[in-house]
Amino acid sequence: MKIVLLNPPGKKLYLRDNYCAKVSKTGYINPPVDLIVISGWLWNKHKLKAVDAIVQRLSPPKTMSEILAFKSQAAIVLTSRLSWPEDVIFLRQLKNELPDLLLIGCGDLFLANWSKEEWQSIFEAVIFDYTTPNLARFLDEFEKRVEHSFTYEGIAFKKDNGSWVGKWQAASGEYRIPISQHELFPLRLYRHPFLRRLPYTVVVSDFGCPYRCSFCLSGVLGYKFRPVSDVIEELLYLKSLGVKEIFFGDQCYGVPRERNEEMMKTMLVNNLKFGWGCYTRIDAVDKELLSLMKRAGCHTIVFGLESATPEICRQIHKAIDVDRAKEALSWCQKLKIQTVATFIFGLPGESKKECLKTMELAMTLNLDYASFNLATPRPLKRALGIKSITQALIIAQNALELLRESFKK
């Protein structure tokens, strides 16, 4: 089967990957890790073509031409609640051109009931977990034109009678994936502000997050991880492709510690001299571990600090010790590891005074970069305690107003 791995066109630089949609702030564009991982499950039985209309700056007509020229029989589409108003227009046009095209969706749109009736009328299946092997099994049965005989963990699909089977559930345990076909994607076009050489790509060693911060969707996804040997096999393949830089797309890299140590030591043994960066937590690293990460090629770490107010941090289930943060940042400075910290304004219960306190903390820490973000509701009810779309909009508006007022000072 000819399958397009599609990141649809958009008027903005949408980053739809990893079930965490956003718009690029400074022109950086990540490789779509969801589609990259999916390619590993499909390449040996299907002919694949990657069309990343965002990084290739393709207009809707040009994107359509690429898909039609490939004579696609199926498309796995990365979409999101953020870009859906544009995506749905393009996908309807695509179905008009190719009525028999099998459309399969992946993204945060499908993790809640937002626009459910609309997307159910367009897609034949949706993916809740892009690491699942069951997508390949679903496609095998589809090609054989047999009715799907059972449900598939990690995906949902439309039956012949129009009803849907399958639901989202939290991930757990260990998983493996075949080597992803990174070379299908235009790796030299992707950009990240903290990486230093091209080509670059994204690798994940786990899925979801072991922590449960209420502002973040990742913890709601559950948590599962790849064996170190599985990740090293992929890194060796990337070395053979000439890839120079890696960003580990794990939401909290290096957890648990023993696995992180094994990963670093195995990278050194295999002479994997990538430059790389990652996200992690202040309380997930220490001096010895940071030293090992540096030796293995790490040059940038993004730490989530979020707020300077302990009570706010406790409310979002992310306790931060400021003294511990200063210590970890000092270790990084001595090791010449570049540091980035993320902060969130407008978390529920935050006042202007607390917002200014967070700004002051950001300026007093010895950071190389700081990233300031607005509290944004995510799918699934647990994120920020959201119980309705109206409440979500109120939180987003309050965050924006708070930030505007704080910068007037």
Give the domain range for residue 294. Answer: 192-407
> Is residue 179 in a domain?
no
Does residue 160 share a domain with residue 252? no
Assess whether the previous peptide bond of 256 is cis (omega < 30° from 0): yes
The tens digit of pLDDT for each residue in 254-295 reads: 888 999 999 999 999 999 999 999 999 999 999 999 999 999
> Is residue 149 in a domain?
yes
Does residue 273 share a domain with residue 136? no
Output the pTM of the full model: 0.91
If pLDDT is split at 50, 70 and 90, which confidence band does 100 have? very high
> Is residue 103 in a domain?
yes
Does residue 208 share a domain with residue 160? no
> What CATH number does the domain containing 282 carry?
3.80.30.20
Are 133 and 40 a contacting pair, CB within 8 Å? Answer: no
The tens digit of pLDDT for each residue in 41-60 reads: 999 999 999 999 999 999 99
Report the first-to-last Cα separation within the chain, whole angstroms: 60
Does residue 225 share a domain with residue 86? no
Radius of gyration over every alpha carbon of the chain, rounded to an integer in angstroms? 21
**What size, in residues, is the chain?**
409
If pLDDT is split at 50, 70 and 90, which confidence band does 381 have? very low
Q: How far is residue 352's CA from residue 402's CA, in Å, rounded to a whole number? A: 6
If pLDDT is split at 50, 70 and 90, which confidence band does 384 have? low
Spell out the residues 6+ positions from residue 213 whose beta carbon is closer than 8 angstroms to its own: 219, 304, 306, 316, 317, 318
> Is residue 171 in a domain?
no
> Is residue 185 in a domain?
no
> Is residue 271 in a domain?
yes
Does residue 227 share a domain with residue 133? no
The domain total for the chain is 2
Average pLDDT across the chain, whole number: 90
Question: Which pairing describes strands 298-306 and 275-280: parallel, antiparallel, or unpaired?
Answer: parallel
Does residue 228 share a domain with residue 159? no
Q: How far is residue 41's CA from residue 64's CA, in Å, rounded to a whole number? A: 25
Does residue 346 share a domain with residue 216? yes
Does residue 198 share a domain with residue 139? no
Does residue 395 share a domain with residue 267? yes
> Is residue 177 in a domain?
no
- 347: nearest Cα among 387, 398, 294: 398
Question: Which pairing describes strands 200-203 and 245-248: parallel, antiparallel, or unpaired?
Answer: parallel
> Is residue 184 in a domain?
no
Does residue 212 share a domain with residue 152? no
> What CATH number does the domain containing 12 carry?
3.40.50.2300
Between the CA of residue 15 and those of 8, 19, 85, 211, 295, what are the distances in Å? 11, 10, 15, 23, 31
What number is the average pLDDT over the span 336-349? 90
Does residue 196 share a domain with residue 161? no
